[in-house]
Amino acid sequence: MRDHFEIRDHDAAGRIGRLEVPRADVTVETPALLPVVNPNVLTIEPSRLESEFGAEMLITNSYIIRSTDRIRDRAVDEGLHDFLDFDGAIMTDSGSFQLAEYGDIDVTTEEIIEFQRRIGSDVATPVDVPTPPDADRERAERELATTKRALADAEAAETGEMLVNAPVQGSTYADLREEAGRHAAGTGLDVFPVGAMVPLLNSYRYAETVEAVRAAKRGLGPGAPVHLFGAGHPMMLALAVAAGCDLFDSAAYALMARDGRYLTVSGTEHLEDLDYFPCSCPVCAEHTPADLRELGEGDGDGPSAERLLAEHNLHVTFEELRRVKEAIRSGNLLELVDRRARGHPAMLDGYRALLDHADELERTDPGSKDAFFHTSHEATRRPEVGRHRDRLARLTTPEALLLTESKAPSDHDYDAVWRVKPPFGPYPPALSETYPLTAEVPERTDDAAQVAAAEGVAALASANPETDLTVGHDAWCDRALDRLPDRVETENLRTLG
């Protein structure tokens, strides 16, 4: 465990943590959103990012500063904090993005780390190679070797109190990402960006985004602070946090505003298409879409429509981040991810990909939290359901046991009666007030929940081969009944009346 990163609360693989940034003398609460500040065009002044939006950290590009004469000398003379007028922590990028875009940059890791130190960066970045998704394997391996050399050069550099990023690359090859994560965690470097994700994020390939993050995290281990580089759309923050990411950076708020795009938690709208703003931030409370369309470039005194859109985009993103943190604290982060997954099919793919790793999420998922809400059939794959099933296999049973969705009959010949609750399955009365069996479930259960409950019965049956089991079910579907071992008796409560 790295001593500059402390994890306070968990939910799924999401966490609230504290990242100490010694050079800025601040502690940043994670998950954190770092607005991207273009040193040439301050869409929103950094001091306002801090005071009005609550940004504790921002990210700017040291390569752009270094290659722009007009600002380089000022940044060196004044230092980044005075130059940008920002007291929080400042992370700097190295030009890797430019390297990926243009194929060549005129700076080495050694030179750019030294430059970042000189301008007073708090978290520096080496020149790694962001291999895009779907690159061929040979290229991904070759570029990963170059990235590893960049990390070694960064480790060897004089950095003082400055933290240094160790980017994790590997394109869309899960084994390379995992190996890159393991290698990065083995360096003495401090923060771990999962890199080259922008092409995936821009095309809403959220399932592959989750796969890349989970692979990197398997290599990095649970204690490493992870930055999802290039991710700042409010729609996917809950998903990315639940997958285990701690830091995000948003260029989207400004880039999207330039194109007249309005961010929401379920996607991106065009200002031109909107009649109403579905938001109560200061911009949306004071303006209508028609006002903003009319405003255009502005009248010279006040802000332009682009700027106001950028402010809304940032408000909605920080609002979602606070919602995510509160969900972690209350233990209903996966309920939030589930809600977001209803907003866009690509998000549903991402959520389903996350649930493919329910066993990994289970390791950090708290044993007790606010009531589990069963509101979709995806919820049957949540870590709590698998955990309860594992627990069933360890419970001992009497000789004749009735498992029923209904109340115990007043008169019966069984040795004991346990309740059955889809999607969890059976449980003894002693567990009825414990998480997750305190779950709120709909009275009209879906087939997936019945199948999951039947699998719970099967787990109990196979752990207790001597027990005679009878299941009283409320008209379960054939698929659920087929999951029950042959020796389990069934009674349809609905036909019994």
Q: Catalytic positions, please?
A: 93
Is 128 assigned to a binding site?
yes
Q: Which stretch binds Zn ion (CB under 5 A): 210-218, 275-283, 375-383, 486-494?
A: 275-283
The rounded distance, in Å, linking the Cα atoms of 146 and 128 is: 7
Q: Applying CB under 5 A, which of residues 140, 284, 358, 403 lies at the interface with Zn ion?
A: 284
Beta strands in 94-195 (DSSP E): 123-124, 163-164, 192-194
Place of tokens 């949540």: 382
Our finding on whether 279 is near Zn ion (CB under 5 A) is yes
Q: Is 265 in the site for Zn ion (CB under 5 A)?
A: no
Binding region for Zn ion (CB under 5 A) out of 98-106, 311-319, 410-418, 477-485: 311-319
The number of beta carbons lying within 10 Å of the beta carbon of residue 96 is 28
> Does residue 477 belong to the site contacting Zn ion (CB under 5 A)?
no
CB of 287 to Zn ion, least distance (A): 9
C-beta of 63 vs 277, nearer to Zn ion: 277
Residue 260 identity: G
Residue placing its CB nearer to Zn ion in the complex, 72 or 323: 323
Looking at 42-174, which runs of residues are DSSP E strands? 57-61, 89-93, 123-124, 163-164
Rounded Cα–Cα distance for residues 7 and 225 (Å): 9
* Phi-psi region at 296: left, alpha or beta (left = phi > 0; alpha = psi -120 to 50): left
- Identify which of residues 209 and 313 has a Cβ nearer to Zn ion in the complex: 313
The least CB distance from residue 284 to Zn ion, in Å, is: 3
Q: Which of 350, 246, 209 is nearest to 16 (CA)?
A: 246
Helices 109-118 and 137-156 pack at an angle, to 10 degrees, of 50
Does the footprint of Zn ion cover residue 281 (CB under 5 A)?
yes
Distance CA(69)–CA(65), nearest Å, equals: 8
* Neighbour-count burial for 205-214, b at 16+ CB within 10 Å, e otherwise: bbbbbbbbbb
User: Which region, judged by CB under 5 A, interacts with Zn ion, from 255-263, 278-286, 362-370, 440-448?
Assistant: 278-286
Q: Are 184 and 192 in contact (CB under 8 A)?
A: yes
Q: Which is nearer to Zn ion, 255 or 279 (CB)?
A: 279
Q: Which is nearer to Zn ion, 308 or 336 (CB)?
A: 308
List phi, psi (to 5°) of 297.
-75, -10
365 is an annotated ligand-binding site residue: no
Least distance to Zn ion, CB of residue 262, Å: 8
Name the minimum Å distance from CB 113 to Zn ion: 39
- The answer to the question of residue 274 lying near Zn ion (CB under 5 A) is no
Residue count, binding to Zn ion (CB under 5 A): 4
Q: At closest approach, how far in Å is the CB of 208 from Zn ion?
A: 30
Exposed / middle / buried, residue 34 (Cβ in 10 Å: 0-12, 13-18, 19+): buried
Secondary structure tally for the chain: helices H, strands E: 22, 18
State the nearest-atom distance from the C-beta of 291 to Zn ion, in Å: 13
Asked if 312 touches Zn ion (CB under 5 A), the answer is yes
For residue 141 the two structure tokens come to 């391996």
Residue 57 makes CB contacts below 8 A (sequence gap 6+) with: 21, 26, 28, 32, 34, 88, 89, 90, 91, 247
Q: Which is nearer to Zn ion, 315 or 387 (CB)?
A: 315
- Would you say 279 is a known binding-site residue? yes
The span from the CA of 142 to the CA of 53, in Å, is 41
Q: Which stretch binds Zn ion (CB under 5 A): 8-16, 288-296, 306-314, 414-422?
A: 306-314
Q: Min. distance of Cβ 256 from Zn ion in angstroms?
A: 13
Which residue positions form the known binding site for Zn(2+)?
279, 281, 284
Which residue positions form the known binding site for substrate?
128, 196
Which residue positions form the known binding site?
128, 196, 279, 281, 284
Q: Which residues bind Zn ion (CB under 5 A)?
A: 279, 281, 284, 312
